[in-house]
A and B are shown apart, each in its own frame.
Chain A
Amino acid sequence: DQQVKQNSPSLSVQEGRISILNCDYTNSMFDYFLWYKKYPAEGPTFLISISSIKDKNEDGRFTVFLNKSAKHLSLHIVPSQPGDSAVYFCAATPPSSNTGKLIFGQGTTLQVKP
């Protein structure tokens, strides 16, 4: 049972344009969401997070939007750069949890073309 889903395995965009990565979840009680970026043979690198009490969070070129009614979040990267090419994972924290458990989506491979 996949509680966090990234339905697009891959995405290709041109350098300088916007990249939009999407993530859906099934449990309306999830209260904290994170995005990680991963290069091959490396561990995931934290990018940005959002609490369920917010609908938007920005950090430089990265913005995460949360639509609780649709159980959907998205990561916007503007402008996209070739160095952004990597696998992006969204993750959620189980509800009312103070334990270090993250539930990950399957990942989306982003390719930014020069």
Chain B
Amino acid sequence: KAGVTQTPRYLIKTRGQQVTLSCSPISGHRSVSWYQQTPGQGLQFLFEYFSETQRNKGNFPGRFSGRQFSNSRSEMNVSTLELGDSALYLCASSTSRGLGTDTQYFGPGTRLTVL
């Protein structure tokens, strides 16, 4: 089975621009979660989508948004980029049977650099 894929792998943007990142989950997985990894804050939860609905959201400003399509693929968008948004953005998918014990499998991440 193919793993979680993320595109693009690397991205360079300037302040004020917006960016869209894409994530394709493992086949059959319906839940997609997004995380931001920075040296200072570690791995932080952004949001989770399940069946095209945002089911949970972390403590990030409204500039961070996402969506999920009917095929479970997900995108996240960051508008009005700031220097502090430079990070590795990770996507994870799980079967999400609703047991709270579903293992999340991560993609390779998108490295975003904001200049």
Instruction: Among A45, A99, A104, point to the contact of B55 (Cβ < 8 A).
Output: A99
Pair B32/A89 contact, Cβ less than 8 Å: no
Q: Which 3 A-B pairs have the closest CB atoms?
A: A43-B106, A100-B33, A104-B43
Is the C-beta of A78 less than 8 angstroms from some C-beta in chain B?
no
Is the C-beta of A44 less than 8 angstroms from some C-beta in chain B?
yes
Instruction: Among A98, A102, A105, point to the contact of B98 (Cβ < 8 A).
Output: A98
Pair B108/A101 contact, Cβ less than 8 Å: no
**Interface of A: prevailing SS:** loop
| A residues near B106, Cβ cutoff 8 Å | 36, 43-46
Q: How many residues of A contact B (CB 8 A)?
A: 27
In the docked arrangement, what's the CA distance between A31 and B35, Å?
A: 21
Q: List 23 A-B contacts (CB under 8 A).
A: A31-B100, A31-B101, A32-B100, A41-B108, A43-B106, A45-B106, A97-B100, A98-B98, A98-B99, A99-B50, A99-B55, A99-B56, A100-B33, A100-B48, A100-B56, A101-B33, A101-B58, A102-B35, A103-B45, A104-B42, A105-B42, A107-B42, A107-B43
What is the chain B residue whose CB lies nearest that of A46? B103
Interface residues of B in 8-56 (CB under 8 A from A): 31-33, 35, 42-45, 48, 50, 55-56
Is the C-beta of B86 less than 8 angstroms from some C-beta in chain A?
no
A48 nearest CB across to chain B (Å): 10
In the docked arrangement, what's the CA distance between A44 and B92, Å?
A: 9
What is the chain A residue whose CB lies nearest that of B88? A41
| A residues near B81, Cβ cutoff 8 Å | none
Pair B42/A100 contact, Cβ less than 8 Å: no
Pair B100/A96 contact, Cβ less than 8 Å: yes
In the docked arrangement, what's the CA distance between A83 and B95, Å?
A: 29
| A residues near B113, Cβ cutoff 8 Å | none
